[in-house]
Each structure stands twice: as C-alpha cells, then as structure tokens.
Structure 1
Amino acid sequence: MMWKRFLLAILPMVLIIALPLCLRKPAEQIDLSADQLVIVSPHNEAIRFEFEQGFRRYYRERTGRKVSIDWRATGGTSEIVRYVNSAFTANFRDYWRNELGKSWSDAVEQAYGNRRLRPGEDGYDARAAFLASPVGIGIDLFFGGGQYDLHKQAQIGTLVPCGLRERQPDLFAGAEPALTRTMGGEIWYDENDCYYGACFSSFGICQNLDRLRGLGYDVEGDVGPMRTWRDLADTRLLGHIGLADPSKSGSINKCFEMLVQREMQDRMAALSGELASGAVTQAQGLDVSWAEAMTLIKQIGGNAAYLTFSASQVPVDTARGQIAAGMSIDFYGRSQAEWEERHVGRKTMVYHTPDAGSSVSADPIGLFRGAPNAERAKMFIDYVMSVDGQRLWNYLPGEPGGPQKYSLQRLPVRRDMYSAEHRRHMSAPEAAPYELAGAFTYQGAWTGPLFDVLRTTVRVMVIDCQDELKAAWRAIVAAGGPAAVPEAMAAFRELPYAHHEARDVSQLLQEAESQTRTTRDWALFFRDSYGRALALATQGK
C-alpha cells in the first residue's frame, strides 16, 4: 500500500515534468544555435509553419540573429488550459514552499488564482504572493484559442501585460483605429494589455450539396439550403449531421454558444409583449429561452450520425459526403470547401454563417507570467499584430507578403487590412467581419458566465447520453414529429436546471468532487427523460 501512495503522490509532478518534453517538436527541427522562443498553441500546423517562417525573417532583419520556435501542441484550447493551470499550480506550490518557506494547503491552492480576493480577506496573502512572483511554466506565449479562455488566464494572473500599447500606439489612434477593443458584444483585446485578438473567427454550417439534393432539398445553384441554426434540426437530416465535442474544443463550444444566443434572442423577441407588460419577468423569459435553445441542441444531437473529438473532422466529412451538414468554425469550413472545389472541379460543399447568427470573436495572443524569453515573445506579438504578420491570415500563397505554402483561410483583426489593395491578394476578398459583427449583438450577460456550464451540459446531454438521445429522437420522428407527440416532447425537453439557476450550477462544476457528482446526476436525469420520451413516442402520445 505504501508504494501505491508514493506513486499517487509523485504522479502529478512526473506529468508536469514529462508532458512538455513529450510535446516538444522533434529535436532535429529545433536549431539549438538559434535564439529560442516557446509557444503553446491550438493552431494547426499550417499556421504554425507560416508564422514561424515569417517571424524568422522579421527577427533576423531586426537583430541579425536566428530564432527557432519550440511549439507545444497539447490539443485543443481546453486541453491547453488544463495543462497550463496544472503547471502553474505545481510551480507556484514549489515557490511557496521552497522560496517563501510556507505550508501548502488546499486553501492556498484555491486562493492564489482567485481574482475576487481583496486585501485583508482570507487567502489574499497567497494571491498577492503569486501576482508578485516570477513563477512561470517554461513557456513564453499562448497563441490562439478563444477570448473566453485567455480572459480567464488574465484574470488568474497567468497572463501578464505585454506592453503592445506603449510600443505601438498608432494601432489604437484615430476615429477608426486599426485595433478595436469591442464590437457586437465581443471583446477583441484586453483593456489591461494581457492579450490581443490576432485574427477573427465566426461560426456557421458546412453543407454537402449533393447529399442535400439526395435528401430532397432544393439546392439553388451553389447556395446551400441551411440558412439558420434551426435548419439543422430538420427531421430529414436524421442520421446525416456531424457534431464535435465542445468539451474538447473552445471554438466548438463557442459555436454552440452562438446557436444558444440566436435562439434565446429570437425567443426573447417573441416574448417582448409579455415582457413589456410585466406578464413575464426577464428571468422567466430567459428560462424559457434557454430551455428552447437546449431543446434545439438535443434535436440536432438526435440527428447526428456521430460525435467527434476533432473540430476539423466535421467539414472534412461534409466535403467527402459522409454527412450532409454540420456545425463548423468559419476557417475550417471555408478552407475545406476551397480545397474540395479545387480538387473535384466543381462546388460540392459550401460554408454559410447563419444570417445574424454569429458574433465575430477573436483568437488572441498573450504573454505568460515568468516567460523565459519575454523580450523575444514581445517581438513575436509585435510581428503577429503588424501588417506583415496580418497578411499571413488571408493572403493567397505566393502573393507579395503572403504565406509561403499554405492558404490559412483566417481573417485578420486589423481594420486597415480590409482596404481594396489588401483585398486584391486575399483568399476571401469579400469578407467583411466588421459588418458581420455589427449585424449581431452578443448578449454576454446571458451566456458568457455560463461558457463552462454550456460545454459540460452539452457533453452530458448529447455525448454521454447519445444512445438514449438518438433513440428518443428517432421515435419522435417516426411518430410524426414533435407536434404529433406532445407528451413525448415534454419529456424530451426536460432539463435538470433552469437558466436562473445556472450560475449556482457553475459553482458546483468548479471542484472535482462536486463536478463528478453533478454530471453523474445529470446523466441519470437525461437518460430517464429520454427513456420516458421514447416510451411515450412509441405509444403515440
């Protein structure tokens, strides 16, 4: 028993030490004679390649020296965040014990990253010690991922000010500055200088035109019939949708959040009369709207042919015709559609952002506390935000200043990149992210604080209970659809909590033990509701 306890005690430290070594790119690709920079990123290999090549040129021009980037790829943003949090906890624990000579406890662990603590409150000494410490994790930059996750890192204190505003004041000057902080309810850079959006993302639907024609859809020319998120719940799509797991990808969770936002905004608009008269309170309206959005997600999940861990798998399978449609990040959808048309010789796949159905979010870059190569890291941020770096996102390969090898199919964040001159060289010259952002207002108070709740709810509701969900939805469809079996749909719609209770639920998900207990209870709840929906639909009720 002693050796088992010993292994359990040292295992976390072994993982913290070993994981970065496993994630390093092969030694033969790292020029040890060059200056080093260490970056963790969920960006794909094409993006990493182009930005490394571009930064090498930029760095040599300014310093006369070579630079080599050590990319750490731990998976999606969610996996990166889990690793970063674990590594900072382990390293601060070592600093707290060995440098400060203090005793570590669960209370200290909970306190050091708690942004809500104020001077004089219990645990603030740990918080203050962390914010004043040089503790790092041997990584310089967090490049990519969603604003939500980098904002949380900035609040914890693992990301620190990088000084971009002092070095590049022109980016923030004028009536229409190159960098805009917020639009359409989204935040594109941190007011405290801890992260900056480098490129834009929006979310939509990728569609295989041939498959949809075969299912009876009227496909006019090259325009896909999936124009809204609700179209994915069409019963004709039963077994023809692909979905990715939002608990593995922050971008996919953002995609689900856009669906929820659109549905809630539509439902709240429908309730406007009752809200104005006081017949329905704001909280009641949000409860109804949240429930409708969750029902829509269940219906789409019921239509799914499969659920994958990979955000890029859905557009790939759509292009191949293995599925008819699926939710996608814009750049995955656009790049796959472009590749397919180039290789097949005709347009077989299209990507569409639902009309007023998505905000425009930014994928940021941020500097880590204790960065071992901090000045070099700041130079990389300067490059990414420069015109030279911004060209890489959407210029065609071979165009002046464009990428060497890959068409990245991302949209630059700088407003001045959308001039007629720049558009001449772009793969998406028609892109208008600022106009798209102005057409949709993200109601951050409705869903922003529930981002983690949403990803966990969708995972349990759709993925963990997928067999029961699909069986219930198939039975409802076979019985004539939702309107034909109202009792079955009532059971299908049930949720373990209402929107007004979601913030309390969020607290339950913060600690491992209560999270395990809560998600287990949810799984039992959903399996029971799906089972009753199946039975009622089979009976025609």
Structure 2
Amino acid sequence: MMRKPTWLNWPRWKSLSSWLNRKTAVAVAMLACVLTPLVLSRMKENPQVAPEDAQRRINIITPHNETIRREFGEAFQSWWQEKTGESVYVNWLTPGGTSEIRMVLDSQFAAAEKNGDEGVGIDVFFGGGDYVFSKQAEKGRLAKLEVFEQHPEWFDQKVIPQSFTGEQYYDAEHQWVGVCLTRFGICYNTDTLKRLGIEPPTRWSDLADPKYFGTIAMADPTKSGSVARAFEMLVQQQMHDTIAKGRRRPGKTQKQFQMRVRSEGWEKGLNLIQKIAGNARYFTDSATKIPRDVAQGDAAAGLCIDFYGLSYEEMLKQDDGSSRLRWISPEGGTSLCVDPVGVMRGAPDPELAQAFVTFLLSKQGQLLWNAKPGTPGGPKFRSLRRMPVRKDVYTPENMQHFADPENPYLATGGFVYRPELTQRGFGALRFIIRVMCLDCHDELKHAWKELADAGIPDRAHKMFSDLTVVSYQNAMGGIRSQVASENKLETAAMAVRLGRFFRQNYERAGKFARKGEKKP
C-alpha cells in the first residue's frame, strides 16, 4: 500500500488547504451573486431570442418597468417573426426615469453632432409623457412616423383623436403618437387610513388635511415628469374653479378679469401644494418609490400616475379581489393624456423601428395594455393595467377580458386641460415647488404643524401662504425666462433668494401660531 506523503499530514498544510477552499467558495458565491441577476434578466426580458442568434436587432430606450418590457418585447418578437419570418432581438435601454433619459439623449446627441453623426444608436423612444416627446421633436431628434400614411384610418376621430380633454394625442408633424392613456391621481393604503381614522381621499384637497401629517409620500417634480404633471393638474383644477365662480367687477375689462381669476386660482393651487407638502414624510427622486412605500405601509398616501398605483394594486390583490393599496382618479382633477412612442433620428434599423410603432397601435398591441393574463390578446404573466389609446378596442367583446372594464373616454369627470393657463410655465412651476417645498421642507413641516395645532389662525396662515414672489405674473414672466435660460448660476441664485423668502415666512408663521394673535 502506498503511503500518503507525510507533508500532507502537516497541520499547517491542512490549515492552508482549508483556507483556500473557503476563499474559493466565497469567490464562487460572489460571482454567482453578480452573474445570476444578469442571466435571469436576459432570460426574463428576451426569453425567445438571444442577441447572437437574432437576424435583426432593435434598440429601445424607455422608462417602462420590466413587466411592460417583457410583455411587449416577446409580443413584438412573435409578431415580427410571423410577419416576416425573421427573428429579432429587443435590446432594452433603461437608464432610469424620463428625466434620466432626457439627460442621456442630450449628452449623446451633443456628442453625435460634434462627431458629425446623425443618430445615437437608438431606434425607438418608448414611454415617458408627451411633454418630453414634444421637446425632443422641437430639437429635431425624432423621425416622421410612417404609420400615419400606412394606416390613415387609425387617425379618425372615432379611433385615435388628435386631442381629447385638452391633451394632444399625436404630434401635428407626425413625429410622435400616444399608444396608451394616462391619468394622474392618488394611491393610498387602506389599512393605514383605518389606523389613522381617515376616510379614503376622493379629491386632491383631501391630502391637505392635517390628519395626514408626516404620512404623505411625494416626489421632486424637477426629477419626476409624472408627479410634475400631477401638480399641474392640481393647480389647473383650482384655476378652473376660480374662473368658473369669478365675476367681473364694474369698470374692469375682460382681460383684467381673466388675469385676476387666473392669479387667484394659481395661488390657491400653490397654497394647496404647500399644505400637502407640509404633510409629506419625504420627497423622493423616483416616482416609482411612492406606491411601493404606500403599499408597504411606510406612507398613508401619495401622488402617482394610474399605472404605478394600479400595478401595485394588482400585485397585492387578494383572492376576494381586495387590495390594501388602492388608486383613485381625483374628482374632476385630471385630464386624460397619452404615453407616446417615437422613432429616433438616425435609427440603426429604421424599418424595424417604424414596425414597432405600427405594432403598438395595432389591435394586437393595444389589447396587451389592459387584457387579463391568459385571455385573448392578453399578456402572459401579469395584467399591465393601462388603458389603450384606440377608442375602437373598447367593445363589449374586448372589455369582458379587461382588468379595468371601463371606457376612460366616457369617464373624464369633465376636466379639460387648458394649455394656455400653465403649459408655458410648466418648468417654472416645477422650479417653484422645489424651492417652496423641498429646499425648506423642514421649516415648512414645522410651521404647518404649529398652524394645525393652533387651529390654523388667520394671520399666521396668511404669513404661511404668502406667494408674493411667485405670483402668476412673476411665474409666467421672469421666473419662467430664468429657468429656461442657459445661465444656471443665476437660476441657482434665484432659488436661494426665493428659498430665503419662504424659509423666513414659515419661521414667522410658526412663531405667530404658537403665540396666538400677538405679533412675534
């Protein structure tokens, strides 16, 4: 019998061998942790076609979540294969939300222009709201869509209207088109509201109730386009109400009357945002964090678009159909806008890019937005809970399979978005809310708590609500011009000046509320 070498029995070697085995095991485990999500992500998002096996490739930049990417990626692969016999790999580019995508496109197109390139290696921009698409079109970064000439019947008023509730559903130059509908609203946790003794909200103004103090989840409107639009809807509702109830004073012209009621409505909207922000637990950079935290009970309610809220409502749905997270469209407080798609200028595969747009607007692509999993035309894994843009898919036959069996074109609540009121000042509104509510959030919360505890005395409330420096005239004039300028240093200096004004007002209002009706 061969004897084992004596050096293998040395305690030091055994210790070294054991150490090496442990290090190897740790290294393998760490490598698995890194590679497994990447492998699983590729398997989930593109299970049918691997990039090296595909005959064609399409690069799509999008803020949409993994569920939408997977469902539409697979469906388009199958549609194109059946149509042409070719396999296609869908390469999703997901740098973040709409704001991050805008910054990516800005930097890439700047580099492309410097190098003399027409495109940036991206075929399609999919999702993100009509505002950012309008800006991309203005900069000449979107190609004309062929679907308007190929299927003119789809752009009849009875199928896809050019506008509805004051919102544009496709670009006049045919550079982008809406593929699904979006509403802005409120998500709330039913269990948390019961614990706090609060009735479920039905209007934007409900979130200003001091009972919500420290429990509202909000997002920075300069980082989230969807939350910024929700704030704009809130302000517009206040302006609509003020205009409808206003009466022209003797000796005043119609123009003077319009300016007065618009200014009053603007201030009421901003004051409402102040109070809701006073109830806020935090402001996040990501709008998707809001429904997640509300679902987990870390917040009682928050502002979010329908899809974010309804997705979590679907995810948490019980066998009896109940869910601890609910989403509602505030009464008369939101328009019905679209989530668009566009083909990028200089797309690597323009034929495939144009085909993707056609697929999204086909009945097959439209049904995918709201049909239940396993139903005709439905998704494979989970309902997407979004509303198709085409009116003609809202038939009894189709809607019996919808996760949300309502026709949004018949349930708008009478709200009509009026772009002449706030659209040109949209950037200014985002800037004002950031300065007024985020930059001095601690002072705002403290003052609002003092006011609420004191029964919101009139004079303290007036100090708290002073909007002299951000009046409608100032917002649509100097503030709008400065925010739109390239002089970032001067814009930052303006933010400091305005922030100082609000911070001092909040501190004075809090002290005044504590001391009652005596001057501080």
TM-score normalized by the length of structure 2: 0.85
CA contact (8 A) 2:119 2:344 kept: yes
1:437-475 alpha-carbon deviations (Å, 9 max, x no partner): 472111111111122212222222222211111111111
State the partner residue of 1:440.
415
Give the match for residue 72 of structure 2.
51
Q: How many residues align?
A: 470
In the alignment, residue 59 of structure 1 is paired with which amino acid?
Answer: W
Q: What is residue 100 of structure 1 aligned with on the other side?
A: none
What is the aligned partner in structure 2 of residue 153 from structure 1? 136
Identity of aligned residues (%): 38
The answer on whether the counterparts of 1:201 and 1:329 sit within 8 Å (CA) in structure 2 is yes
Note the 1:184-195 alignment, pairs <5 A.
Answer: 184-195=165-176
TM-aligned CA distance change 1:390 to 1:517, over 3 Å: same
Counterpart residue identity of residue 426, structure 2: F
Letter matched to residue 175 of structure 2 = C
Match of 1:424 among 386, 390, 400: 400
Contact kept, 8 Å, 1:303 with 1:470, in 2: the verdict is yes
> Which AA in structure 2 matches 1:49?
R
The answer to whether residue 460 in structure 2 is matched with residue 498 in structure 1 is no
Structure 2: 5+ residue runs without aligned partners?
Answer: 1-37
Q: Distance in 2 between matches of 1:297 and 1:344?
A: 36
What is the match of residue 370 of structure 2? 394
Conserved 8 A contact 2:332-2:413: no
In the other structure, the counterpart of 1:248 is 223
1: CA distance between counterparts of 2:229 and 2:60? Answer: 23
Q: Does 1:208 align with 2:229?
A: no
Aligned partner of 1:10 in structure 2 is none
- 2-structure distance, mates of 1:236, 1:493: 23
Partner of 1:486: 459
1:76 — aligned with what?
Answer: 97
- Contact 1:181/1:188 (<8 A) preserved: yes
Cα deviation 1:167-193 (Å, max 9, x = unaligned): 1122124xx431111011100111111
Pairing 1:31–2:51 present: yes
Q: Which residue of 1 aligns with 2:431?
A: 456
What residue number does 1:334 align with? Answer: 310
What secondary structure does 1:310 align onto? coil
State how 1:87-126 maps to structure 2 within 5 Å: 87-95=108-116
Query: Cα RMSD over matched residues?
Result: 2.3
Q: Which amino acid aligns with 1:58?
A: W
In 1, the alpha carbon distance for the partners of 2:99 and 2:111 equals 19
Query: SS of 1:328's equivalent?
Result: strand
> CA shift at 1:212, angstroms?
2.1
The verdict on how the C-alpha distance between 1:39 and 1:495 changes in structure 2, with shifts beyond 3 A counting, is: farther
- Listed as ranges, the matches of 1:209-248 within 5 Å are 209-218=190-199, 224=200, 226-248=201-223
Equivalent position of 1:515 in the other structure = 491
Q: What is the aligned partner in structure 1 of residue 127 from structure 2?
A: 144
| Alignment match of 2:444 (pick from 469, 473, 482) | 469
User: 1:167 is matched with which residue: 125, 142, 150?
Assistant: 150
CA contact (8 A) 1:178 1:415 kept: yes
1:317 to 293, 312, 329: 293
1:68-118 Cα distance to aligned partner (Å, 9 max, x none)? 1111111111111122122212211232xxxxxxxxxxxxxxxxxxxxxxx
Partners of 2:384 and 2:223 in 1: how far apart? 22
The 1:180/1:321 distance shift into structure 2, 3 A limit, reads same
SS of 1:439's equivalent in the other structure is coil
Going from structure 1 to structure 2, the CA distance change for 1:342 and 1:26 (only over 3 Å counts) comes to closer
3-state SS of the aligned residue for 1:242? strand
Distance 1:445 1:344, change over 3 A: same
CA deviation profile, 1:495-518 (whole Å, cap 9, x unmatched): 522212223322211212332222
Q: Which amino acid aligns with 1:507?
A: S
- Partner of residue 30, structure 2: none
2:266 is paired with a residue whose SS is helix
TM-score (norm 1): 0.82
Q: Deviations over 1:305-350 (max 9, x none)?
A: 2222221222222233222222121122222223323279744332
Of 314, 334, 353, which residue of structure 2 is paired with 1:358? Answer: 334
Q: Distance in 2 between matches of 1:390 and 1:160?
A: 22
CA distance in 1, matches of 2:472, 2:410: 31
C-alpha displacement of 1:46: 0.6
